[in-house]
Each structure stands twice: as C-alpha cells, then as structure tokens.
Amino acid sequence: MRILVTGGAGMLGRKLAERLARDGELGGERISRLVLADLATPGAPEGAGPEVAAVACDLAAPGVAEKLLADRPEVVFHLAAVVSGEAETDFEKGYRVNLDGTRLLLDAIRADPGYRPRLVFASSIAVFGAPFPDVIGDDFHTAPLTSYGTQKAIGELLVSDYSRRGFLDGVAIRLPTICVRPGGPNRAASGFFSSIIREPLSGQVALLPVADDVRHTHASPRAAVGFFLRAATVEEGALRERRCLTMPGVSATVGEQLEALRRVAGDGAVSLVRREPDELVARIVAGWPQRVDAGRARELGFRAETSFEEIVRVHVEDELGGRIP
Amino acid sequence: MRILVTGGAGMLGRKLAERLARDGELGGERISRLVLADLATPGAPEGAGPEVAAVACDLAAPGVAEKLLADRPEVVFHLAAVVSGEAETDFEKGYRVNLDGTRLLLDAIRADPGYRPRLVFASSIAVFGAPFPDVIGDDFHTAPLTSYGTQKAIGELLVSDYSRRGFLDGVAIRLPTICVRPGGPNRAASGFFSSIIREPLSGQVALLPVADDVRHTHASPRAAVGFFLRAATVEEGALRERRCLTMPGVSATVGEQLEALRRVAGDGAVSLVRREPDELVARIVAGWPQRVDAGRARELGFRAETSFEEIVRVHVEDELGGRIP
C-alpha cells in the first residue's frame, strides 16, 4: 500500500507519519511507500517498514498534485492548510492554499481515470459558527464565522461531491481543537488552549487571552492520529452519502483545563498562567463550537479522550517521557 | 441607483428585469441604469424609467466581471448559473460557471476598495440533501446530493465570508422549485413540476416522470421576483451573521398539484398528463427537500403563495392573460 500525506511537516502530519512508519501497516495492509509533502521538506520518520520520501512542494501550484499522485497512492491524507489565524489575516493566501490547493488535489485525482483512492480530508469544527444549540448535532449547518472555517466547509462539499461522482472515496473529519500541541506556538487562534498547559508543565509562563469560562472541545494529538487512521479504514458503505464526520472530543472550560493541570502538576504549574486578554482571539474563539454530539463518528468507531485530565496525561506521556520536569 | 442582473436572459432574470423596469425604483430609490448580462444578449424589457443595457458575456472568463462592475452598481443580482440537470451531466461546465463564475464576480467586487454593493445570490433548496427531517429548519445542514446543490452551497459560503470580511453586503436566497415556469422546458431536473400544469392548460400533453406521492416545495415566478426585491432591500442588521435564507413555498405532492389543476381547469386538463417514469429524474428529485420551515425568511418579510391552487392561478394571470384557452 502506498500512502501520501500532504502537510507532512505540520504537527499532525509528522505525528501521523511517525505512526504509519512505526506500524508499517494500515488496516492490515503492509505500507510499501510513504510520501510526505509540504512547503518545507518534511522530516522522515524512523521505521523499519516503508520506503519514505519527503517532498518540498506547493500544492496550490498547477501540476504539483499530479506529480505527487503519479504512483497512485491508495490512501491520501490531505492535511496541508493555512491555519485559522493566518487565513483570517491573509485572505488571499488562505483561499489559495485551503481552497485552490484542495481543489487542485481533487481534480488531479479526478483526471486519472480508474484511480479512486480513499482521501481523508482534515476538516475542523471551525466549519460551525455561532449562535449554537447547547450541543451541536451531526445535522447542524456549517455557517462558519472565519475564512478558515469557510474554506474547510467548501473542502468538505467538494470531497462529498467528488466522492458521489465516483472520482474518489472521501472522508472529511472535523477535528476539534488539538490540545496539547507540542513545540512552539503556531498562528492558530486556538494556540493558547495548548500553551496554558504545555508551558507550565515545562516551568514556563503562559498567556491566557480569554476568560476562564470559555468552553471548547479538545482532543489530543494522539487521538487525532487515531481519527486519521480510522478515517482511512472505515468502510465506505457505512458512510452512506454523508462523508463529513464531526470528531468526538472533551468539552471543557478554560477553568476546567486549569483544574486538570492542577491535579496533574500542582498549584505551582497553574500559577504560571498569566491573564492577558486579546480581543481578536476572544472574538474568533467566541464564534467556535463549545460542545459537539459526534454521535455518528462514535458509532463508526472514532475515539477521543474522556476527560481533560486524560488529555494532560497523554501529553506528559507522549511529549515529556512520562514525567513532569 | 444602478443595478446589475447576471443571468438576465434566463426566465427569472427576465421577469426580474421586467419588474425593475416597470417599477422604475427599488426600495424607494429611482433606478437610473439597469444592466442585464448573460451568455446570449438578454432582451431589453419595456419601461419608461431606467436606461437599460443588455450585455452578452461569459462571467466565468477573467476580466468580464470587472467590466460589468465598472460603474459600481449599488445592487447586483447574481442569477447566472448552469441548471441542475446540466450541472449533473457536465461536471466541468457546472463548476466553471456556478463556482468559478461566482468567485470571479465576488473577487471583482473585492478588488474595488470602497465599493460594497448589496449582492443578492440566487441559491436553491438543492443545497439540502436527504435524509431529511419532516420539516427542514433554518439550521439544517447543507449536505447536497447534486453537483448543482454543491456549487450553490459553496456560493453561499463565499457570499457569507466575503460579507463578513466587509467586501460586499450579501444575501443568499434559497429558492424552492419555481413553478409554473412559462415557455419551453429547460434542462433542470425539476422541469416536469411545471410542465404537468403548463402544457395541459394549453391543451398539450405533459409527461410525468415520477410517482404521484412525490412531495416538493414550490413558489411561482411572481413570488420569486418578490423574493429578489425583498432580498435587495432587507436591512443588513436584520440578517446578523446569517446571510443565507431558505425561502418559503407551498409544499405539495404531485397528486395535490394535479388536484389543483383539476379545480382550476377541469378533468380534461388533468387527463392530458401521461405517466412516463424516468429513473434519473426520480433519483435526483428523491434527494430534494419536501418541506422547509423558512421561519427566518418569513420573519424578514419574504412571502410566497399559500396553496398550489394559488400558484396555478398566478400562472393563468401572468402568462395566459387571465383565461384558460
């Protein structure tokens, strides 16, 4: 089995690639070749199994997708995207990468008759926009309040239509905020949800730009990788005509996040969180979903953590070698 | 006030243009200039008031939208589209006209700083796809089952995002099936809903491709023109962040349509309807909405007929000079 991961240098792309290289198989099939593509050359993960190729390329440039697909990978993970904060500040770049890049990828698949890969599209719960019901059901409309959410919602529509027309076999997964993100901050408006846990766990100060009662839905990077693997292997028949799935997650307020941090790492860690309100971030986050039902995804076997404390402990295990410094 | 109508040679575009030319004003403002654009030169409607220009052009070609917008019309009615049946049989043409054409129009508006017209986008209840609840609420998701519905749903997302970003002041109206359409059949899969009324009223045989219990939502061309005028004048503040409105209509089965025809024109008219099942049409129509709530649109003053018999009588008044031949 050949696999292509776009956005392979991003945090999730890297973790997905590491997992695929380590497992050496997907859905019981041996992985022979793993291609990682991104603007910057992705790092090649270690693993005895698959041949790994890392490609630096711009998916939004004509002809690039055709080259990446030349060996007809059976599974395409499409993660490449401009993140929410940047798509909001750079309108044209967001549309170019998130809409045009996605469409070029889908059209390159369509242009190859007889080739019909499973395509897993990384969507986001940013496709939803306020006002919200108490819990967002699987049939709630996509009325995004950011350009990023708009671009993801359009990507979902394209994946569904191209699948229905038989050009590919798509699954779009709406990721909740991924938390705790390792490494440095990125330009996602949701970055602080991670930094208020990650930095204190390393003895660093973290800034909190929103109020303690802000509620949001989270899943760990480990859970997200699990979503991608499940999306790659879920039976097409089980999806019926509805290929866009809201992923499960843990709904927690910022206050509840900090309480979980306190339980795992003590008062000292929590005292490192400094409140510094940021209106732009607060406004963007206020338009984001607080709770999702995700009943369909759960039925189809997608699993997330069950408490925010579990999310903190997953971070300690996966990123800090199991111990708090 | 200057007004641009794209799709000005289509049935609704023509009726809208006739109404605007006849009224000579919109929302209390005198119309000085009315530009009608379409692939074929639109016919210029009669009316003492506005200067009328009819332009033959391809909106999906680069640079065309800029020319149409050169005199900065305060209101743009964007009706130009490939219809549902053709968008399903000609994938590339549908995306080129319905997606790329719309985006080029929006981007041409965006490219002119300080210009922020009211843009009325003709969307469709084809943005919804089965399975449906009994009544489709205003928050029901857009999970279309046709390429046409997909393209309209994407257009809605773009109109919303471009409005939110301040580039334009958009309103997308989801039209139900327009019935009774005058003139000959077009390539819309919904055409038979009209022909089973229109042809018998003129003593002609009509073919019915679906079962009598097929239920669907309808509004007359007169009501549709009313939707467009209301959409052009509704206060922006009343829309809040939700600029996509499902229009009201009459929910009726094919059997109820035929009973309305019987009440207006007698048994002889109904006997001219011949059942000739068509699987493609039946399949497309089966994925379409049966009943919509349209509560928001009604609150905002959008009005449709209240019975299918009224729809038949509107056709007799507007197209047959008030009498059945």
Model confidence pLDDT, tens digit, residues B190-232: 889 999 999 999 999 999 999 999 999 999 999 999 999 999 9
- Note the pLDDT tens digit of each residue in B50-94: 999 999 999 999 999 999 999 999 999 999 999 888 999 999 999
Angle (CA) B236 B239 B244, round 5°: 115
Enumerate the active-site residues of A: 148
Number of Cβ atoms within 10 Å of the Cβ of B233? 16
For residue B147, is pLDDT > 90?
yes
How would residue B185 be classed by pLDDT, with cut points 50, 70 and 90?
A: low
Query: Residue B129: which pLDDT band, with cuts at 50, 70 and 90?
Result: very high
On the CB side of B12, CA atoms within 13 Å amount to 29
Reference A3, options A107, A103, A74; nearest CA is A74
CA–CA separation, A69 and A64 (whole Å):
9
Q: In 3D, which of B80, B99, B103, B102 has the Cα closest to residue B91? A: B99
| Residues whose CB is less than 8 angstroms from the CB of residue A282 and which lie 6 or more positions away in sequence, other chains included | A209, A210, A211, A214
Q: Which residues pair with A76 in a beta bridge?
A: A4, A119
Q: Report all structural domains of chain B as residue ranges with CATH numbers, in order of start.
A: 2-176+220-246 (3.40.50.720), 191-217+250-292+299-319 (3.90.25.10)
- d(Cα A193, Cα A198) in Å, to the nearest integer? 9
Per-residue pLDDT averaged across B173-199, rounded? 89
ipTM above 0.90, yes or no: yes
Contact: B153, A157; criterion CB under 8 Å: yes
User: Which letter, b or e, does each residue of A160-179 get, where b requires 16 or more Cβ atoms within 10 Å of its Cβ?
Assistant: bbbbbeebbbbbbbbbbbbb
A157 contacts in B (CB within 8 Å)? 142, 144, 150, 153-154, 157
Tokens, residue A92: 């044209």
Residue A156 has a pLDDT of 98
Please compute the mean of the pLDDT values over residues A70-97 and round it to a whole number: 95
**Distance of alpha carbon B225 from alpha carbon B15, whole angstroms:** 7
* Residues sharing a CB contact under 8 Å with residue A63, sequence separation 6 or more, in sequence order: none
B161 and A CB contact within 8 Å: yes
Say if residue A325's pLDDT is above 80.
no
Question: Are B17 and B42 contacting, i.e. CB atoms less than 8 angstroms apart?
Answer: yes
Is A160 close to B154, i.e. CB distance below 8 A?
Answer: no
Question: Letter for the amino acid at B97?
Answer: V
Residue B186 has a pLDDT of 66
Percent of chain B's residues with pLDDT above 90 = 89
Partner residue opposite A142 with nearest CB, options B141, B145, B147: B141
A186 pLDDT higher than 70: no
pLDDT score, position A72: 98
Chain-chain contact of A150 with B133 (C-beta, under 8 angstroms): no
